[in-house]
Structure 1
């Protein structure tokens, strides 16, 4: 069987350049990751795109009246299907720092000891998988600096923050700004002695049992300590006591795909802090981030599948980047039961544990892409899908399949240095033929059949990006009433 992959382990590959000399925490796919990173590095000689997209728009603002210290975070609005960003800092027209290896829309700057003057300028642009620019540089923005300013440092959690900066005015209504960025609401009526959590407005399709935590790295941070808590901590400077900790995990990257499923009838919280090469804290834990995955809340619709269901795309986008989740564009709310890396066999195996506690009325199912590109037969994949269908029927759940989009073996090889079964297209045709005999959503009203997935829809050849996720949601929204009619005869 071919090695399988998904967005989460490629994040480790991308982050690897930041870890030179640091603590390596590779998993069992380490060799595959190294090959993929070599492919990523080896592609940098490609020509830049002929047409550049609009430049990123800076968010962070440090005017004379509210200057930064020598430690500061710079943030900017995301560019659609961003893979990486190039940031440069300038003073008197000369670049004194630049990096092409930034994989979130923010960066922690620590000014050098020999920095002189009271200001500098910065610019950022987006890069593709070949590390070639896809946008022009942003307009220069000046940062004023006062060495006496000494802010508290912690990794900035990104789950939900980009939602505040997008065009959804309701999400940021009444919120103040700090250094140009909207400040998330802190929970009110928190008992004295506890750290108030940040709480974001609910958005359709953002509740998932397999959590992904994402942050802006801290300069000098080699490892990141993540706590998942069942109640609020008393301190941001010290680890929470054992009775509050559901899980303690570590990452050397800019995110963590939680290895444990998080389900509770009560709110839960995650937070992260940076550790240096000797394991000493750099700053404090970030404010607790509240989330809920309550099986007692009735979700009419669940979504089950692999990483295309779980979310993420464009190589560095994670499920916590909601624009890469098709569920966020649906006209109804859902519980996301997707699991990155699933084969159809794996999806089937976790049905009882992951689906039944929530018992949705409808279950949208799409799994098999990882099996398709590997050596699994069409018959075995169809067998898994039919077994999932039967489990739905046996438990009073109405299954709704999605036809499986195509893949692109050339782009898969380029992004991950992994082969694809040459028979993938004929297998896909058989699998989709089965799906079309069941209650289903036809995605090929939006995608083209019998050809490879265009690069414009999936940079890595497998995980469709923002436009692809929008197209999936459009197909579901347009055909959902037909699905209801099939079940209820309306």
Structure 2
């Protein structure tokens, strides 16, 4: 665009010069005493105007070329937030600002904000405020941040996974991102990084914010993944994101087998790709997360050889049963599955530690989740399971503290009635940590050494 302006301006200047040069020599000589100064003055003024016009057009082109059409906003997750309100304001710091737009249904920790409707961005600011399930503010809005300082004109979704901060990547990864405005469907490509190239693993189709990977990653190595927006028919409508990565360890001295409470996630909308609601985050002893959302104890038993043995753990933490009793599976059947897991552990030289099945809050579950109403006697089967758990050689009771006077999951510990949120996950992690350090100091020390080695390898690779 700028080159076109320069060519037009130079062309106009040459035209003036050619016209001046076309005056007959004789006529120029005859009018020299009086008219040559006027002609020169006109030429100079023409040249000045052409130069000024070229400068104005060049400045306009440069402004258009550098104008920001959109920005990508980011913030850290807030405990118990189900969604966020993002406000766009106009004004200046230290003076009252006018709110010119509000987005109250933002379900991830970022927002792609188109700017066409707002005009100039020099005095444009944004704030974010965490909201609960019913839209109640959980904290004051953040301090206004200049829009012009945000990432400008992103061409791809922004990854939000936090695997680099975890001791181990989960066995079943969940990929999450901030989408570009209006993009509701995405695809994720996963590769295994090998010497000289990346080996393709698979492609997943996801929704607006995340996708759960149903493939267990048991082969040691480094894996990378990327995401892009697509149409319902699968046609790309954005660039690929930057690569995210995670490393699969060869051996993990301590692992945890379970359902979504072990897998992670909470407050309805936060997936296990964040640390906030993973109880392993609050256990200082490194624990490999072998949880899989939705598992019953039967499913846990079926995947033992495939998912547990490749990591050769010395200690296996086992917590299951909530997905059994909430759908009507009898406690006796759950106990048979847990007992079978115990025998498999013993056969492979693994020490099992059983955790009690956490309680639920049925009214909250049915009101806030698309889930079947649990049977009225769910608590009897939960108690049957937990009585068995507490008779085992190594067991930890995490259910009692999380229960209210009626035996249900304490309302302040959950958003959806099924999953403990921050306080509950912290309690589980810290309780497990204390037990491991007290009863399995050797395994805890080995786990810490191996994680240090893993992180050093990641830094040097």
Give the distance between the partners of 2:305 and 2:187, measured in 1 at CA: 31
Q: 1:470 to 1:145 in 2, by over 3 A?
A: closer
- What residue in structure 2 maps to residue 434 of structure 1? 388
Residue ranges of structure 2 left out of the alignment (5+ in a row): 1-65, 92-96, 444-461
Residue number among 294, 303, 326 corresponding to 1:350 in the alignment? 303
Matched, 1:267 2:230: no
- What residue in structure 2 maps to residue 452 of structure 1? 408
Give the distance between the partners of 1:246 and 1:96, measured in 2 at CA: 46
Q: Deviations over 1:298-330 (max 9, x none)?
A: 211010000001111111111111121111111
Matched, 1:395 2:348: yes
- Report how far residue 137 of structure 1 moved: 2.1
Structure 1 length-normalised TM: 0.70
- Considering fraction of residues, name the structure with more helix: 2
Give the distance between the partners of 2:435 and 2:428, measured in 1 at CA: 11
Residue number among 430, 434, 452 corresponding to 1:478 in the alignment? 434
- What residue in structure 2 maps to residue 187 of structure 1? none
**RMSD over aligned Cα atoms:** 2.7
Counterpart mapping for 1:53-68 below 5 A: none
Matched, 1:284 2:239: yes
Kept after mapping to 2: 8 A contact 1:401/1:435? yes
- Report how far residue 98 of structure 1 moved: 2.1
- What residue in structure 2 maps to residue 88 of structure 1? 87
Kept after mapping to 2: 8 A contact 1:118/1:145? no
Give the distance between the partners of 2:409 and 2:107, measured in 1 at CA: 24
Q: 1:145 to 1:397 in 2, by over 3 A?
A: closer
- Report how far residue 113 of structure 1 moved: 4.9
Q: Which has the higher relative contact order, 1 or 2, with Cα contacts under 8 A spaced 6 or more apart?
A: 1
- What residue in structure 1 maps to residue 262 of structure 2? 309
- What residue in structure 2 maps to residue 299 of structure 1? 252
Kept after mapping to 1: 8 A contact 2:262/2:289? yes
Matched, 1:106 2:62: no
| Structure with bigger gyration radius | 2
Residue number among 257, 265, 289 corresponding to 2:212 in the alignment? 257
Give the distance between the partners of 1:380 and 1:117, measured in 2 at CA: 63
Give the distance between the partners of 1:407 and 1:367, measured in 2 at CA: 13
Residue ranges of structure 1 left out of the alignment (5+ in a row): 1-66, 162-199, 235-240
Matched, 1:244 2:199: yes
Give the 3-state SS of the residue equivalent to 1:136 in structure 2: coil
- What residue in structure 2 maps to residue 367 of structure 1? 320
Give the 3-state SS of the residue equivalent to 2:311 in structure 1: coil
- Report how far residue 413 of structure 1 moved: 1.3
Q: Deviations over 1:271-320 (max 9, x none)?
A: 111235675534421221121123xx221101000000111111111111
Counterpart mapping for 1:309-328 below 5 A: 309-328=262-281
